[in-house]
Chains A and B, each alone.
Chain A
Amino acid sequence: MSPILFWFFAALMILFGVSVVINRNPVASALSLVVSFLCLAALFVGLDAYFVAVIQVLVYAGAVMVLFLFIIMLLDLKTEQRRKFNLLASAGGGLVTLGFVAELIIVLERFSLGATPFPALRAEKIDDVREVGMTLFTTHNLPFQVVGVLLLVSTVGVVILSKRELK
């Protein structure tokens, strides 16, 4: 991937990520999140992970975001009222975030292996659906089934939670 495209999509992604945080209207936040996810999918393509990119678009930008928007509509959320600004909390939150970013930059500077460029792929074609599938069903078969159970449990949980009377 050309660096220009990378930086373009990366910048767009973070920009819209910030937009998720600062928007007061939940619908706007959700739509910003969609754009951010789409940019992330573009970055995945740049990393030759086509299948993951497709799944990212389908599951996140598709299913999960529809769920979010649906809930926002269901609850009929309006733009947030401006509330009393809690200076202490905001300052604390900002400080922690800044601390994290500072640590990140220092760690990356020390990580010399990461400063080398990506090695080229030597395979003639990238059949990544097949490769991912093989890995998933052979090496990681047990976790795969556990995740299946997890999905079942969450389905049951959602049904229970959505019942009118919570006992």
Chain B
Amino acid sequence: MDPHLPWFILLNPLVSAALIHLVLRRSSGTSATVSVLSACFGLLAAVGIWFSGQSGAPIEVPWLDFGPALRIPIGFIIDPLSRLMLLVVTGIGALIHIYSLIYMEHDEAKSRYFGNLSLFMFSMLGIVLANNFAMMFIFWELVGVSSYLLIGHWFTRDSAAAAANKAFITNRIGDFGFMLGILMVWSATGSVVFPEIAAKIGTLNLSADFLTAATLLVFCGAVGKSAQLPLHVWLPDAMEGPTPVSALIHAATMVAAGVYMLARVYFLVALSPDAQTVIAWIGIVTAVFAALMATQQDDIKRILAYSTLSQLGYMISAIGLAAPGAAMFHLFTHAFFKALLFLGAGAIIHALHHEQNIWHMGGLSSRMRVTFLTFTAGFLALIGCPFFSGFFSKDLILLAAWQHNTAIFALALFTAFLTAFYMTRLFVVVFLGKSRTDAAAHGHDGPIAMTGPLMILGLFSVIAGWPWIQNYALGEVSSHTLHLLHEGGGSVPVMILATLSFLAGTGGAYVLYSGKAKDPILIPLFKNKFYIDELYAALIAGTQDLFARILAWFDKWILDGIGVRGLSGGAWGAGFVLRFLQWGNLQAYSFLFGIGVVALIYFMVFAK
């Protein structure tokens, strides 16, 4: 492989972002072209890397060198995992860039949008290519920044600005743990480079507690970025951003970064069974809770957001169930069908003039044919209909759960049922029945730049899980896991149970929602997201605000009152008294001063 290819793939979106932000701010058409071209070049380069296979020498340049204790290079890791991820990120990225051309056509800040999109591509590719923790952390933060910028794209809307802040701050909480985890790993092994850590950490005889703590802290980063419980609150709100952004960042790539990172450091995770149990439970609990919340949402993008949370929970859980290959497989298929669903939702929102409430839609199947057909493909893939991609990948995760932990398996199965239920609800309400509003009655498909990406993604949503594609695309990434899973047995009952839960969910939702004009069931607990946002608000009011109020009192009365005002008052008072001794003529003062100097010299030198 040409060693310049990774450099090109990483730096080309950066150049594009810099060009757009620094030079092309005013010419929105040109900046859109630049950004789309850069995304397409990135895809070409990723394909090049894919076909050129394993790299020989490591691509690494020294960056920070503090002697043997800490050495941080800028290096790229090119292995099956990163090659797959490169393909997913650049592929979906390129499609969404093209889609954005239409979706953001009349936006006032088109240049800023495309510049930030390129910036995001740069940071995401940096995470994928990084061969050490320090570099990954830097790009990890950069991804957070670009996500912040894109969520807050329409920052004049208060809700968008607040959502951007929320996403950034929530991520920071997770990243803090991530940083501590990196420091722990570094303190134990003296290195931040993944292959070096992998080679060293097994030989060090570290205590189990230390490894568990380090793994869980690193996992904190994934909890933030992949929006797991309890830091999941930002992802639904992040839907305030433009829909292509939701598809690219908050469904297909960035939120998957946590899963990718865990797969990347799986050598660390594998050393600590306790941490694995925690990870598996956090993942599955997130999956169940998010699915429950999704059943009662009315905003089409929010439903998809909770669905994303739920699927991410599956992936994280698979990592904890010692099946990183299954997690990566689900990440791979999920990237396609979830991006497709978001883009489909975007097409509907675009056609309906920014209507997002599903109860204001309906009957779109006949008027938006392409959108309907592709959305159906993504829908079937997500709910795990047999022979669609999601079926195969979800099946593997269920199998891993079956073999390791029956309770987790039951919850995973329940989640699969819920997924089928809420997605069918969405599907039936949006596409079938009669139109409930005027806008819905006049919706129509977008131009080819919009439907093209939908069709490509639709194709992949169907076939991405088929065994031969899976063998070809994931190959070495998942072969080990697959081997273990197939040896463990139980694939037939799992498949049957999964299909049954899919049928139950779909059928139940169809019966319940077909032909209804408004939601027939109302569960406030789910609708209000288990009151978690309110709980956090109360927690912050109880702790941080209280603490801030104490500090404010201290500042006002102790520091300002006694410290500052007391001192200044003292100085003023002293000045007031002393000013009665003054004369007021400058030259008189200097004259007296001069006499003093001369007299002083006289007494010092002569009057002995």
Q: Is A89 an interface residue (CB 8 A)?
A: yes
**A100 engages B605 (CB within 8 Å):** no
Which residue of chain B lies nearest to A99 when distances are taken between CB atoms in the complex? B598
25 A-B pairs, CB-CB below 8 angstroms? A89-B587, A89-B591, A92-B591, A93-B587, A93-B591, A93-B594, A96-B591, A96-B594, A96-B595, A96-B598, A97-B594, A99-B598, A100-B594, A100-B597, A100-B598, A100-B601, A103-B598, A103-B601, A103-B602, A103-B605, A103-B606, A106-B605, A106-B606, A107-B601, A107-B605
Bound form: Cα–Cα A93–B597 in Å: 13
Closest chain B residue to A100 by CB distance?
Answer: B598
Residue of B nearest to A86 (CB): B587
* Interchain CA distance A58-B598 in the complex, whole Å: 34
Q: Mark B584-608, 1 if CB is under 8 A from A, else 0.
A: 0001000100110110011001100
Chain B residue with the shortest CB-CB distance to A103? B601
| B 567-593 to A, binary, CB cutoff 8 A, 1 in contact else 0 | 000000000000000000001000100
Q: Please give, as numbers and ranges, the residues of chain A lying within 8 Å of B602 by CB-CB distance.
A: 103
10 more CB-based (< 8 A) A-B contacts, given A97-B594, A100-B594, A100-B601: A89-B591, A96-B594, A96-B598, A100-B597, A103-B598, A103-B605, A106-B605, A106-B606, A107-B601, A107-B605
Main secondary structure of the interface of B (DSSP, over half): helix
Point out the residues of chain B lying under 8 angstroms from A103, CB to CB.
598, 601-602, 605-606
Q: Which residues of chain A have C-beta atoms less than 8 A from B591's C-beta?
A: 89, 92-93, 96
For A110, the closest partner residue in chain B by CB is B605
- Chain A interface size, as a band, is 10 to 19
CB distance from A131 to the nearest CB of B (A): 31
Q: Chain B residues with Cβ under 8 A from A89's Cβ?
A: 587, 591
B528 to chain A, nearest CB (A): 52
Q: Which residue numbers of B lie inside 8 Å of A, CB to CB?
A: 587, 591, 594-595, 597-598, 601-602, 605-606
Q: What is the 8 Å Cβ interface bit string for chain A, positions 93-129, against chain B (1 contact, 0 not)?
A: 1001101100100110000000000000000000000
Chain A residues packing against B (C-beta within 8 Å): 89, 92-93, 96-97, 99-100, 103, 106-107
Tell which of A97, A103, A107 has the most Cβ of chain B within 10 Å: A103
Q: Which one of A92, A96, A103, A106 has the greatest number of beta carbons of chain B within 10 Å? A: A96
Most buried by A among B587, B598, B606: B598
Measured between alpha carbons, how far is A70 from B265 in the docked complex, in Å? 66
How far is A100 from B597 in the complex, measured between Cα atoms in Å? 8
**In the complex, A89→B594 CA distance in Å?**
13
Tell me the complex Cα distance, A92–B590, Å. Answer: 11
Bound form: Cα–Cα A96–B587 in Å: 13
CA distance A92 to B588 in the complex (A): 10
Closest 10 CB pairs of A and B: A96-B594, A99-B598, A103-B601, A92-B591, A100-B598, A96-B595, A96-B598, A107-B605, A89-B587, A93-B591
Q: How far is the CB of B118 from chain A (nearest CB, A)?
A: 39
Please indicate the chain B residues that have their CB under 8 angstroms from the CB of A97 in the complex: 594
A89 to B598, CA, bound (A): 17
B594 to A: closest C-beta gap in Å = 4
Tell me the smallest distance from the CB of B270 to a CB of chain A, in Å.
Answer: 51
Q: What residue of chain A has the Cβ atom nearest to residue B590's Cβ? A: A93
Q: Which residues of A contact B606 (CB under 8 A)?
A: 103, 106
Compute how far the CA of A100 lies from the CA of B601 in the bound complex, rounded to whole angstroms. 9
CB distance from B535 to the nearest CB of A (A): 46
Q: Which residues of B contact A93 (CB under 8 A)?
A: 587, 591, 594
Q: Which residues of chain B are near A107, meaning CB under 8 Å?
A: 601, 605
How far is B606's CA from A92's CA once the two chains are assembled, in angstroms?
A: 22
Would you give the shortest CB distance from B212 to chain A, in whole angstroms? 46
A residues less than 8 Å from B594 (CB atoms): 93, 96-97, 100
Task: Give the distance in Å from the alpha carbon of A99 to the alpha carbon of B598 in the complex.
Answer: 7
When C-beta atoms are compared, the residue in chain B nearest to A92 turns out to be B591
User: What chain A residues lie within 8 Å of B597 (beta carbons)?
Assistant: 100
The interface residues of chain B lying within 8 Å CB-to-CB of A92 are 591
Provide the bound-state CA to CA distance between A1 and B427, in Å: 99
CB distance from A21 to the nearest CB of B (A): 14
**A103–B594 Cα gap in the complex (Å)?**
13
Output the least CB separation between B335 and chain A (Å): 53
- A107, closest chain B residue (CB): B605
Cα distance A92–B605 when bound, in Å?
A: 23
Q: How far is the CA of A100 from the CA of B595 in the complex (A)?
A: 9
In the assembled complex, the CB of A98 is this many whole angstroms from the nearest CB of chain B, namely: 10
**Closest chain A CB from B378 CB (angstroms):** 60
B103 to chain A, nearest CB (A): 48
Cα distance A99–B606 when bound, in Å?
Answer: 13
Distance (Å) between the CB of A31 and the closest chain B CB? 25
For A89, the closest partner residue in chain B by CB is B587
- Report chain A residues within 8 Å CB of B598: 96, 99-100, 103
Which residues of B are found within 8 Å of A106, using beta-carbon distances? 605-606
Chain B residue nearest to A88 (CB atoms) is B591
CB distance from A83 to the nearest CB of B (A): 13
Minimum C-beta distance from B164 to chain A (A): 35
User: Which residue, of A97, A99, A107, has the highest number of chain B Cβ atoms within 10 A?
Assistant: A99
Whole-angstrom CA separation of A96 from B596 in the bound complex: 10
Q: Please, how many angstroms separate the alpha-carbon atoms of A99 and B594 in the complex?
A: 10
List residues of chain A with CB within 8 A of the CB of B605.
Answer: 103, 106-107
Q: Determine how close the nearest CB of chain B comes to the CB of A86; give it in whole angstroms.
A: 9
Cβ contacts under 8 Å, A100 to chain B: 594, 597-598, 601
- Nearest A residue (CB) for B605: A107
Give bound CA distance, A84 to B406, whole Å: 108
Which chain A positions have C-beta within 8 A of B587?
Answer: 89, 93
User: How far apart are A111's CB and chain B's nearest CB, in angstroms?
Assistant: 10
**Closest approach, in angstroms, between the C-beta of A129 and any C-beta of chain B?**
31
Least CB distance from A144 to B in Å reads 27
* Distance between B135 CB and nearest chain A CB, rounded to angstroms: 34
CB distance from A18 to the nearest CB of B (A): 18
Q: Which partner residue on chain A sits nearest B585 by CB separation?
A: A89
* Nearest CB on B from A92, distance (A): 5
Question: Complex Cα distance A93/B594, Å?
Answer: 8
Least CB distance from B285 to A in Å reads 54
Chain A: CB-nearest residue to B588: A89
> When chains A and B are docked, how far (Å) is the Cα of A106 from the Cα of B602?
11
Chain A, residue nearest B596 (CB): A96
Docked Cα-Cα span, A93 to B595, in Å, equals 9
Interchain CA distance A122-B25 in the complex, whole Å: 65
A99 to B605: give the CA distance in the assembly, Å: 14
When distances are taken between beta carbons in the complex, the residues of chain B under 8 Å from A99 are 598
Q: How far is the CB of B48 from chain A (nearest CB, A)?
A: 52
- Nearest CB of chain A from residue B7's CB, rounded to whole Å: 39
A119 to chain B, nearest CB (A): 26
- Cα-based distance from A96 to B599 in the complex (angstroms): 10
Q: Give Cα A137 to B88, complex, Å.
A: 55
CA distance A143 to B587 in the complex (A): 33
